[in-house]
Amino acid sequence: MKKMNMVIAQSGGPSMVINESLWGAVSAALTKEASKSIDKILGARHGIAGILKGDYIDLRKVGAKKFEAIAATPSSALGSCRLKPTADDCRKIFESFKKLNVGYFYYIGGNDSADAARIVADEAQKEGYPLVCWHIPKTIDNDLRSCDHTPGFGSAARFVACAIKGDDLDNRALGGVKIDVIMGRDAGFLTAASALARERPDDGPHLIYLPEVPFSEEKFIKDVKAAMKKFGRCVVAVSEGIRGKDGIPIGAKLADGEKDSHGNVQMSGTGALGDALAKLLKAKAGVKRVRADTFGYLQRSFPGVASWQDQWEAKGAGWCAVLGSLHEKNTGVFSGTIGIERKKTKKYGVNFVYHPISDAAKYTRSVPKEFIAKNGHDVTQAFVDYAKPIVGDLPRCEIF
C-alpha cells in the first residue's frame, strides 16, 4: 500500500484536553503499525483556515517530551477557527491535499467541527478524492449525540464544580444572592455539573437553571425568595443558554448578536445575562446584596484543574481515531467519528466505538429528562452519578 501523508487540525472552542487528543492521534500515527500507511504528520494551524492557506507544522519533529507538555496544556495548540467549508473551499482543500500527498485527515472539535468534517468527506466523495476523513470528539458542552460524554466536558465540569464550591463558601461568609452564569449554548450539562460542588445538605448551588427548562422570571423570583427563606442566602447556577417560552436565549437578546459562520449567536465573553438577572432580583425579590459572575473562558482554559479521567479519554479518542481509520483499505472515502460508550460494569470504564460522522455533526444532545429534577431548578442524583467519575475527586472544603 502506498504511504500517504496525514493532516490533523483543531476547530471550535478550545478545551483543557484537546491537546491530549492531538497527542493521542499523533502518537498513534507514530506507531510501527500506523507508519506502514502514514508518512508525514502535518498539523494545520487554525483548522480549515490553515489548510486553505497551506499553514502547517511538521509534527514528527516536535519530540515526545515537548508533545507531552503540550498535551497537558489547555487550549488548542495548533490554533482554532470557526469555519464552515463551502464546496469551493473543499475543492481548494483537495487540490492542496493532492500536491502534499495527503490521504488522511483528522479534525478535532465539537458538532460544528464534525459537520465541517462531514462536508469535507461528502465533497471528497463527489470529487472522487480518496480520503480517510475522521472527526475526533471534543466539546466542553457535552452535547455530541455520539458520546455518553465528550472529551473536554469532565475538565470544564471540574472547573465549574470547584468554582461553585469556593463561591458557595464566599456566599456563606457575606450572604445575599450570588448568581453564576455558566457556559453551554444549547445543553445544560456544564451548568448541571455545579451540583457536584455540594458536600453538605445546605451547600449551594441552591438553584440550577438549564436551557432545557423554559425560564420564567416569575418562577425565578419565587424560587430565590424560597431559598433565601430556607438558607438565609442563595447561590444560583444558571446556563448562559437559558431561554423563555419563545425558545430564544435570553442572553442572546441582551448581547450584541454577533454570529459565527455556523449561525451561532455569541453568548460567552459578556456579563450581560448575569447583570440582568441581578438587576431583576434587586428590583423584585427584595434582596439587597445580589452579585453576578460570569465564569467565561476560564471554564475551558484554566491550567491545572483538568480531570485526569478526561485527559485519559481525550488521548484515547485521538489514538483510536487514527488506528481505527487504518482498518479499511484506503481506496475511496472512509469517514467516521469516535464515540465514547460507558461500560455497563459497576466500576466506571469506557469503550471507544466507531460511528458515522453524521452522528456527531450539527445536531446536539440535550440534558435528558431523568437528569432534571421535577421542580425545574435542580438536577437529579442520576446526573450526579453520571458525572462524578468523569469529573474526578474534588478538593474537600471544611467548615465549622
- For residue 11, the minimal CB distance to a second copy (Å) is 10
- For residue 65, the minimal CB distance to a second copy (Å) is 10
Cβ atoms of residues 379 and 369 within 8 Å = no
- Please identify, using beta-carbon distances, which residue of 162 and 213 lies nearer to a second copy: 162
Provide the grid cell at 239.
446556563
Cβ atoms of residues 164 and 177 within 8 Å = no
- For residue 203, the minimal CB distance to a second copy (Å) is 12
- Please identify, using beta-carbon distances, which residue of 62 and 100 lies nearer to a second copy: 62
Q: Which residue blocks in the chain are alpha helix, DSSP H?
A: 18-29, 32-35, 47-53, 64-71, 87-100, 111-127, 153-174, 189-192, 217-231, 250-254, 272-284, 298-301, 308-325, 381-391
- Please identify, using beta-carbon distances, which residue of 298 and 373 lies nearer to a second copy: 298
- The three-state secondary structure class of 14 is coil
Question: Bridge-partner residues for 238, per DSSP?
Answer: 181, 209
- Please identify, using beta-carbon distances, which residue of 10 and 335 lies nearer to a second copy: 10
Q: In terms of DSSP bridges, do strands 102-109 and 207-209 run parallel, antiparallel, or are they unpaired?
A: unpaired
- For residue 245, the minimal CB distance to a second copy (Å) is 26
- Please identify, using beta-carbon distances, which residue of 66 and 230 lies nearer to a second copy: 66
Judged on CB neighbours under 10 Å (0-12, 13-18, 19+), 230 is: exposed
Helical pair 308-325 and 381-391, crossing angle rounded to 10 deg = 80
- For residue 307, the minimal CB distance to a second copy (Å) is 13
How far is Cα 118 from Cα 336, in angstroms, rounded to an integer? 8
Of the candidates 244, 161, 245, the residue with the CA atom closest to the CA atom of residue 203:
161
Which residues form the interface with a second copy (CB under 8 A)?
Answer: 10, 13-14, 43, 46, 57, 62, 66, 69-70, 72-82, 162-163, 165-167, 169-170, 172-174, 178, 256, 268-272, 274-275, 278-279, 282, 290-298, 300-305, 394-400
- For residue 267, the minimal CB distance to a second copy (Å) is 11
- Please identify, using beta-carbon distances, which residue of 3 and 66 lies nearer to a second copy: 66
How far is Cα 253 from Cα 119, in angstroms, rounded to an integer? 31
141 is catalytic: yes
Q: Which of 89, 115, 141, 167 is catalytic?
A: 141
Q: Which residues are catalytic?
A: 141
